Amino acid sequence: MNNILSQKEIKERLPLHLQKFVIDQSYDSYTELDHAKWRYVMRMTLQYASDYAHEFFLPALKKMNLPIDRIPRIEQVNNAVNPYGWNAVCINAFITTKTFLEFHSEKILVVATCVRTLQHLKYTPYPDLIHDILGHGPCVAFSPIERLMRYFGKLGTRAFSSRLDSELHDALNKLSILKEEKSTNAQEINQVSGLIDYLKASFSEVSEMEKVRRLHWYTLEYGLVGSLGTPKIYGAGLLSSIGESYKSLSHDVEKRPYTLGVYNDDFDPTQHQKKLNVIKDFESLEQLLEEFAARMAISTGGVCGLGKLIDSKDIGTLELDHLLQITGEFANMISFEGKPVYIESRDRVVLSVENQMLKKASKVRSPLGIVIQCVVNDAFKDLKLLHQELKSGDRIELHYDSGMSFEGNIENTIIHQGVLLVIEASQHYIYNHGVKSLEGEGCTLLFGNKVNSVYAGVVDKNTFEEYEPIVSMPPLPEHSVAEKKHFVFYKELREMRLNHSIDLKRLKEIFNASIENAPKDWLIILELYELIGASNDNFKDIVKNKLLELAKNDDYRVLIEKGLALRIY
């Protein structure tokens, strides 16, 4: 087992821009009903998962040694994933897929603090702690999926997003919340659904990040493995959905072989999926993801990669063939014969080599490519000796094979292992085929013939703190006096169960009060029935008949029927 870190220590070891998403669990805010919902889903999963889940899942879940009767504390979840080199933290559930995947790249299991409503116990339109702990948690213990979690983390961290991605994320979050809340009206849902349709129709091209999101959704969230005829579930969204898990394997859901083409297939995370994709095995999925990664800007670099960086209007990094890494927001590029020959940043940048920051520098305004002529203080210079001869105050002219030229006053140079990487210049002029294009004060001039790689994000993870603003969690629901009284009934039932002390008279009182004040709460009736056990009292028949009556509602039918057959844990 690895050294177990406290929540504070885990947070402090995260990159600065991820730390702000980590929150306290606020364990005491969970109601007795919340604990009962957790218990029900745990018992259902332990009893029935072998029917639908891949063989790794149930042993891995049992090995986590999570409590059944109460929601686990985040420290317990952290202890469960620690043997596999992972840690667990609670997060603000309003994070983008990109941020979620970056946590996975850091080997951090993120756990939302919210719990699905009883109405959505089978399936929640919004990620909750049941999904994160029971869905993703056991996957950490299975090395083929654990590798895929980290690989997707790497892809998501380096993939370029678009502004539409962010707007779509916010709209989908809002729709998920509306569908989860009790008081939402249809008009609100229709309005947000209309906005989502509009945003989707606005996509002229699917961004790298949106492609990664879809590839991830159809695998580690909603993936099947095996044959098309008899697949098993390995996706966390299905593993944690006690309703959709069975439905996904039925003939009602179309099964298709998984290909990279699924990144063209949109999905609605707030509804049951009508189409699912099946991988042959986990090794074949890894191969497909490597094929996809080879098409990303991080692998191709060049004009296409720089174009994605500029269009994203976000922080990104480009790597030149002389090992220099430049991180910042980039605004402009000039290409010639299919190659980038000039690059300009919006503002200051961070310069790095081998993933370590060298320094922060002024705005980049730099030709790129092969220098064919160099003049320093009106004298021609040998390029091979240039790094030895330049000094502050020199006037330098550089002429490139692309027709670009640079002229400026040297303030500073950066040389690494005998290679000139950067000149920081003051008053400068830039020419394109002899025509003055730009002039200005301080700038950073880069030396590199080729842009090898371009990717989203930073090299040194603590050089930029802000990527994604925090979206506030909705306030915890205000419970009425009647609801609080009802929660106390759940507490009484749990104490009777744990103390093996059954008070039939009190059970009858709780039953009568529940059907009068919470007529749709089938779960408390099920817990009552469980406690009555082998009693010959006709009260057991009354309770069962009430359950069968509630089971006439299709929303509860499967939950009640399977719940009646649950073993005692």
Q: Output the known binding site for Fe cation.
A: 131, 136, 221
| 330 strand-pairing partners | 345
Nearest 10 degrees: CA dihedral of 346, 459, 84, 95?
-10
- Give the distance, in angstroms, between the CA of residue 539 and the centroid of all CA atoms in the same chain: 49
Q: What is the DSSP string of 127-155?
A: --HHIIIIIITGGGGSHHHHHHHHHHHHH
Alpha carbon distance 40, 397 (integer Å): 74
Beta-carbon contacts of residue 537 (< 8 Å; ≥ 6 apart): 504
Q: What angle do CA 545, 120, 184 make, to 5 degrees?
A: 115
> Do 473 and 94 form a contact (C-beta atoms < 8 A)?
yes
Amino acid at the residue 358:
L
Q: Is 308 helix (H, G, I), strand (E, B) or coil?
A: helix
Q: Which helix (H) or strand (E) holds 275?
A: strand 275-279
Q: Is 495 helix (H, G, I), strand (E, B) or coil?
A: helix
Q: State the binding site.
A: 131, 136, 221
Alpha carbon distance 37, 474 (integer Å): 21
CA neighbor of 87 nearest in space, from 13, 152, 156: 13
To which residue do tokens 């500029």 refer?
310
Q: Is 537 helix (H, G, I), strand (E, B) or coil?
A: coil
